[in-house]
Chains A and B, each alone.
Chain A
């Protein structure tokens, strides 16, 4: 229906919701087919061991078992790794099933296919593995010693070293009046999409045509890479991402189980389905973070930041998954944060360990960077005796509306950082809080107040293809969009992005509705099926709206241009006489001589009288390669109460002021911030993958790995008033999927440290568990006691 209403900027209710609130969604485990078999993997209980033998005979004889297969039985190539970030990177070969060694808890040595889920699981338990256990190495610095090699053929565990190369005068790190040196460790995190992974492979054997339905963020990338792994010709392989129950980076990958299901369906000629258990998810699905930074800040006594230098050790896990070493590198461009230092250095060494491969986890490189910069800035402020707000204010890059080159060398599209800080300070009532904090300290209250800041930028909108090429990434960063205007006035939109909770169907409909003068209800957005939307690069890195959404914008422009030709023909005027407005092409100065898009779509469909050279059907496809990244920024402030006797932390206030450029749907943007901050709070206070001395994951279920509940997550105050348009794309959008997770961890940790800093505490690592906080207080008091005694003597 043609309309003059505008939808961009409105909190349009989600088109996705009706099926999700009624139990009618099509998540992967809801898919079933006639003749479908179930797959289960045998993952032996070793962390690091030489495989001496795999006996599948008992498993093979169990009820319902169709086959038990080891690596030798399957013709599958190595799993894809697409980001060899340096020329001399050492790449461990990674197969879907291990045959020589088990290298981490999740390594599988055999796969069972059976008639039912239960039979497959029972038989997988019965696969007997004889193995010689080897010492396992989980700790990064221990692994770096190469006393235990994960991959003998590589000769070292230090498999990759990447350096930004530095910018500015490096001597500042020795000569500056104030040099702050700190070491920060960030633990491994388990992404915990509430839907575990799963997939179903089926096909037409006689045609060698195959379909993989997978709970993935990246159907397009899965298709092209698995074509290589399985040998299925790409034009005969279709990948469908059905409704996907969250990803957070953990489904931005191409996994062993996807290759196995496809390979076995092809081998057996029957549909094969696999659904991951949660405990399996904790070892077999990628982890995030797992880094240690040595940090140096060079500054002046009055608070000016002169230089920032970071040397990182990054845990790769036992193998690379799709992008593994690219994650720290992504962060390598943003270690200046929103500040403007004169000198910059970043380098990292990637180390393999006997643990689950790491890869993208919400934020991917930028949370790691933001955490260390923001901790460092607070430490600097404490060192020179200044308020952390004052130090940040002195160093924030002044507002800029046109792209400006940052010290790391990339062009930042636009920014207005201090404005977000001011808004956040106002919302949180900063001065009042500081007064309350002074009072609580004077009274010596058991519960002490802490205030923590995080001013951040991030790099989104992955990515200009030429830059990706220069960074040795194997694919491009473009995305595609197709618009088809149907004869009944409705519109089909096909996007190359692949949402899993972000609400693209709604947001994309808003963009198209405004562009074509129809309503979002008239628009159906199709995604996540390589057959229906062949042009796509999927969803990750807060790229979808700034790349896929921009592609949609250009597709809209193409549709409108074609519509203009048809409208001019029908109105018997020159195209130049037409202008767009009020949802139609109309003759300038004569708004009643108009044609709406639905009207033109009907004409284009029946094609009775089209202008010469115009093809029937009103449709267009655009493929958009962004000229630059996009750079959101903002200020988060967290207020905590710390129980100084138990070390327990409670967040009492949280303010998030994020500038993500033009906002299309403020309701959805707020939702992304809420969820992102919750994940950042989780990272700061609760979550960490812990291993025992033998290298087994101790936090192996949801009862030990502490995904917070509604009781622990605070109410978050957001503010959407700052919308500095991106200069990268015509929509002015920047992206908001990861901002919360990037900004929140240092805000929370800075608050916890601030709460007990008067007791002498200067550092607490993530997650700030009650015990860590308690210990920090004990240690500080012990030290003060000692130095107090020393002073008296």
Chain B
């Protein structure tokens, strides 16, 4: 209920954050803290130091850029869900931001924090994967872009280096249909299974939440759709390549079955 002791430093620039990370191997970045602090309170995570980047207000923005939308990594869920601009340009991001956690969590939690935490049950990584987002990381040697397909290499792992700061997330404008099917036991829970479907270039990108060690693209479904299959037929391939967990929220077998129902419903909504 109380974290183990740690050092704390609030930084006022990305550069200072990188410096602080480099100075201490056990240091972690603190953005909103709503992924990290719960882990620390249960002493599942015991960083030696927290580098608080929560005041880097420059990293909180939503703007149209290069035909897409650029979102500052420290933009809070609450700001995403309330953004009229985002509702125009990439409505699935705004809508799903409003489904993460609960209002209190959304007042603190940031999109970048969620990406860095890389929880396979997190809604936002899955949606960003479906959108084919680009992630901008800033390190000592400048910035680099990471493609969505490369961003989530493993369980609770992101492609960010230990001394890199995620600074921006870019998503394409989505003018077509979309759907996010979040199946939960309780309103405040993580998705037992989630499915994001975004209509793009006449077909649909589909991703799965909590169906494996990382957020996943539903490759089989996308392939079937590209081959002209109807949603119901394509949805039968929902769990191809997935490795769903078995836990108190559902067995692997149930999650596989659920993913097919949810993919079908998502496609029916997105492609309607």
Contacts and interface: CB of A to CB of B under 8 A. Distances in A.
B183 A690 contact: no
A706 B186 contact: yes
Interface in A664-710: 686, 690, 698-699, 701, 703-704, 706, 708-710
Interface stretch (A118-126, A476-484, A634-642): A118-126
B257 interface: yes
A646 B261 contact: yes
B248 interface: yes
B185 A686 contact: yes
A338 B86 CA distance: 59
Nearest to B187: A711
B43 A125 contact: yes
A698 B248 CA distance: 7
A471 interface: no
Nearest to B257: A774
Contacts of A706: 185-186, 189
A717 interface: no
Contact of A646 (B42, B43, B183, B187): B183
Contacts of A121: 1-2
Contacts of B156: none
B2 A117 contact: yes
B248 to A, nearest CB: 5
A119 to B, nearest CB: 10
A278 interface: yes
A712 B258 CA distance: 20
A110 to B, nearest CB: 18
A703 B189 contact: yes
A277 interface: yes
Given A279-B1, A646-B258, A711-B186, A698 B42 contact: no
Contacts of A701: 42
B254 interface: yes
B175 interface: no
Interface in B1-15: 1-2, 4-5
Nearest to A769: B185
Interface string B252-264: 0010011001100
B251 interface: yes
Main secondary structure of the interface of A (DSSP, over half): loop
Interface in A759-793: 769-771, 774-775
B188 interface: yes
Given A699-B248, A703-B189, A118 B254 contact: no
Given A277-B1, A686-B186, A771 B248 contact: no
Contacts of A492: none
Interface in B232-252: 247-251
B18 to A, nearest CB: 31
A302 interface: no
Interface in B91-136: none
Contacts of B186: 686, 706, 708-709, 711-712
A770 B192 CA distance: 11
A48 to B, nearest CB: 21
A702 to B, nearest CB: 9
Given A279-B42, A703-B189, A706-B185, A771 B254 contact: yes
Nearest to A645: B261
Contacts of B247: 698
Contact of A770 (B4, B5, B185): B185
B2 A704 contact: no
Nearest to B258: A646
B116 to A, nearest CB: 20
A685 to B, nearest CB: 9
Centre residue among A277, A646, A648, A703 by max chain B CB count within 10 A: A646
A712 B185 CA distance: 9
A709 B188 contact: yes
Interface string A90-128: 000000000000000000000000000110011001000
Contacts of A278: 1
A708 B185 CA distance: 9
Contacts of A645: 261
Contacts of B192: 770
A709 B179 CA distance: 25
Given A701-B42, A703-B190, 15 more contacts: A118-B2, A125-B43, A277-B1, A279-B42, A646-B258, A646-B262, A698-B248, A703-B189, A706-B186, A710-B187, A711-B186, A770-B183, A770-B185, A774-B257, A774-B258
14 contacts: A121-B1, A122-B4, A277-B1, A278-B1, A279-B1, A279-B42, A686-B185, A690-B248, A698-B248, A704-B248, A710-B187, A712-B187, A770-B185, A771-B250
